[in-house]
Amino acid sequence: MSTAPDHVMTITTRGEFNLKLPRVSPNPSTDNLIRQPVTISMRGNYAQNCEPAPPYEAFAFLYSRTMAVDFCRQALPAYQHLALRGVPLGSLLLDVCCGSGQWARELTRLGYRVTGLDASPAMIRLARETAPSARFLVADARNFRFVNSFSGVISAFNSLSHASSAEQLLQIFRNVRCALTREAAFVFDLSMEEAYLSNWRGRFSSRSGELTFTLEPSYDPVSRIAQNQIRIANRNGESASDTAFTISQHCYSEDEIRHALRQADFHDVESFDAENDLAIAGERGRLFFRCR
């Protein structure tokens, strides 16, 4: 799962939704978790295109403890190889669509100074707890602006697929190009259609404490839109509540991505197959791009 540059989604909730989430903070001495409760409530009917709402807060927490952790562990060596070779320790790095902060945490542990941006306040709150040494901003990837500030930029875990049009993707690439210092690299990964056709089906569930989420992915090859139907169940003692929402992604071809990168003034563009070139198991159809 990824975090979106704009995080626009359709959320439908009926009845009363009461959610108590743990606030997670790292303990520097033991790296265990310290938890304090955060309560979020929503009543009535809610169905519209909007910025992240309370149900997404629950998903942000579950995402941060499951999918985000797993992919970061798998793909970190690839990002180190592609993005960090020759970049001096202490350099400034930018994490676009940083999600819940797993990448920023690893990069700061390696000795880099990291800024992360994401449009979701829920993700940014988690990121600040996950990687307290990094700097985080609630910002839209389509609209942010830094000028020649960073020695490297990453955007991990298919995050840029949430750009809903080629024009939005181009705008993000232009913003990244402006943020990079001369000769610095932009590294990101995206799922190609092969990945959506082979992986986006079935039903998956995960649980953390009182929260359970069920994920039903689907892909339409005509529209090239992938959707995650997400249902969250909260079983808190004698009370129970459920909520459901959909997060969409757009499938871009390698040619479309390369064309947008050229338009954004990236001239040296390389692509790497996750399984065949980077030895990341189970990631058929995912490409990593490195561009300058």
pLDDT tens-digit profile, the chain (292 residues): 333 433 332 222 233 323 333 333 333 322 222 223 322 222 222 222 334 445 567 678 878 888 899 999 999 999 999 999 999 999 999 999 999 999 999 999 999 999 999 999 999 999 999 999 999 999 999 999 999 999 999 999 999 999 999 999 999 999 999 999 999 999 999 999 999 999 999 998 878 778 888 999 999 999 999 999 999 888 775 566 788 888 899 999 999 999 999 999 999 999 999 999 999 999 999 999 999 9
| pLDDT at residue 204, rounded to an integer | 87
pLDDT of the residue at 239: 60
What integer pLDDT is reported at residue 174 of this predicted model? 98
pLDDT of residue 48: 29
| Host H or E run for residue 222 | none
Domain ranges (residues) in the chain: 1-292
CATH of 1-292, one of 3.50.50.60, 3.40.190.10, 3.40.50.150, 2.70.70.10: 3.40.50.150
213: left (phi over 0), alpha (psi -120 to 50) or beta: beta
pLDDT of residue 212: 84
- Sheet harboring 204-208: ordered strands across? 46-50, 9-13, 239-250, 225-236, 211-220, 204-208
- Lookup result for tokens 């490195």: 290
List, in order, residues 6 or more apart from 106 with CB less than 8 Å away: 72, 76
Q: Where are the alpha helices (DSSP H) in the chain?
A: 54-65, 67-79, 102-110, 121-130, 166-179, 193-199, 254-263
